Amino acid sequence: MFMIRPDQLLRETERGLWCEPGGFFIDPMRPAERALVTHGHADHARAGHERVLATPETLAIMAARYGEAFTPNPASIDYGERLKIGEVEVSFHPAGHVLGSAQIRLDWKGLVIGVSGDYKRRRDPTCAEFEVFPADVYVTEATFALPVFRHPDDRDEIAKLLKSVRQNPDRAHLVGAYALGKAQRVICLLREAGYEAPIYIHGAMEQLCALYEEHGVALGPLEKATVKDASGAKQDFAGQIVIAPPSSFQTAWARRFPDPVICFASGWMQVRARARQRGVELPLILSDHADWDELTQTITDVNPDEVWITHGRDDALARWAELEGYKARPLSLAGYEDEDD
């Protein structure tokens, strides 16, 4: 039993999760006086806050996306560093989601609440591995919180892509991947699988790929996917891999490729209807979110007294948690999207 109520430390509001004794929001959805930001995806990291505390990598991502003036008062915190904000001791711990992503640990009067942000448990060569820490209350995402979602081995999905490239030497492979995190992960996995050729990227990905390399993530030779090469000759990218944001597939940019193999790297590709709806020929089940087994394993590992569940399929995870003896509470937080996972 708690001597103090958890909602005295952290509670949901229309703007996001609010910590009264610390005087800050976590991933607020509207401009706030002080924001603690878990990671750089736009549904969690918004511009306009007066003060922002985040990992150095997340601050760099926010500056790249919104401009250097995204906040008048940026402050960085390293993984494991402890900082007192108001009455609350705060620390950031790796979430394994994307570069710089963090879980946030709050400690107030002996009550510990962990806020996961978005996370995954499997290895990712582009970011620090998820770290388990004990908490009295654990606030978890639930993007893929249904037992049907069990993601396959990343290496098997990349092997499918490379096999298709070998079998279709006359066709370009257009891989839809979210510009922050997923694109860089796909590139690194291709390199680990032995693919050494230049990988072509959409212009919208150049800045973030450069940022990843600046933070020590080696991506190998990358080239911009332009219609003409340096000599002015038209390119058709036959036999090449081209990575682009999924939104670009509906633009004139994508129509320059003759008869491409349309691929999409997302956890949602496990749902065949979604793949068909998007016209995907080669679905690649690669997610930056925890699947059902990872979500339930994390709750077991953290072993909290209470589980609070944010965006996603909260009903199924809440039911599982209750059957396992945890007090479970879905939160009514709007504004967090799947971002094409």
| Domain assignment of residue 337, yes or no | no
Residues 110 and 164 in one domain: no
pLDDT at 273: 84
Residues 263 and 162 in one domain: yes
Contact of 141 with 119, CB cutoff 8 Å: yes
Tokens read off for 280: 């995907």
| Domain assignment of residue 261, yes or no | yes
pLDDT at 252: 86
pLDDT at 332: 75
pLDDT at 293: 98
- Does the CA dihedral 210-27-93-294 come out positive or negative? negative
Q: Flag whether pLDDT at 338 surpasses 70.
A: no
Q: What is the mean pLDDT of residues 71-82?
A: 98
| Domain assignment of residue 295, yes or no | yes
Q: Flag whether pLDDT at 139 surpasses 70.
A: yes
Residues 21 and 35 in one domain: yes
Contact of 40 with 118, CB cutoff 8 Å: no
| Domain assignment of residue 246, yes or no | yes
% of the chain with per-residue pLDDT over 70 = 95
pLDDT, tens digit (0-9, with 9 covering 90-100), for 183-239: 999 999 999 999 999 999 999 999 999 999 999 999 999 999 986 655 545 677 999
Residues 245 and 317 in one domain: no
Give the domain extent around 223.
Answer: 154-284
Mean pLDDT of the chain: 93
pLDDT at 1: 53
Of 39-48, 183-192, 270-279, 321-330, which gets the smallest average pLDDT?
Answer: 270-279
What φ, ψ does residue 171 adopt, rounded to 5°? -120, 140
| Domain assignment of residue 131, yes or no | yes
Residues 119 and 185 in one domain: no
| Domain assignment of residue 335, yes or no | no
- pTM as predicted: 0.94
Residues 17 and 126 in one domain: yes
Rounded Cα–Cα distance for residues 275 and 258 (Å): 20
Q: What is the mean pLDDT of residues 117-140?
A: 97
**Total number of residues shown for the chain:** 341
Q: What is the mean pLDDT of residues 164-186?
A: 97
Of 41-55, 142-156, 168-182, 230-244, which gets the smallest average pLDDT?
Answer: 230-244
Of 137-151, 166-180, 263-277, which gets the smallest average pLDDT?
Answer: 263-277
pLDDT at 61: 98
Contact of 192 with 168, CB cutoff 8 Å: no
Residues 227 and 314 in one domain: no
Q: What is the mean pLDDT of residues 238-248?
A: 95
Rounded Cα–Cα distance for residues 175 and 284 (Å): 9
pLDDT at 302: 98
Rounded Cα–Cα distance for residues 102 and 254 (Å): 34
| Domain assignment of residue 247, yes or no | yes
Question: If pLDDT is split at 50, 70 and 90, which confidence band does 337 have?
Answer: low
Residues 15 and 127 in one domain: yes
Domain of residue 253, CATH code: 3.40.50
pLDDT, tens digit (0-9, with 9 covering 90-100), for 17-72: 999 999 999 999 999 999 999 999 999 999 999 999 999 999 999 999 999 999 99
Identify the bridge partners of residue 95 per DSSP, sorted by sequence position. none
Residues 19 and 101 in one domain: yes
Q: What is the mean pLDDT of residues 150-155?
A: 97
Residues 32 and 123 in one domain: yes
Q: Total domain count for the chain?
A: 2
Q: Flag whether pLDDT at 339 surpasses 60.
A: no
CA distances to 29, 225, 263, 300 from 260, in Å: 38, 14, 9, 44
| Domain assignment of residue 106, yes or no | yes
Question: If pLDDT is split at 50, 70 and 90, which confidence band does 335 have?
Answer: low
Residues 143 and 158 in one domain: no
Rounded Cα–Cα distance for residues 91 and 96 (Å): 16
Residues 88 and 237 in one domain: no
| Residue for token pair 């990358």 | 222
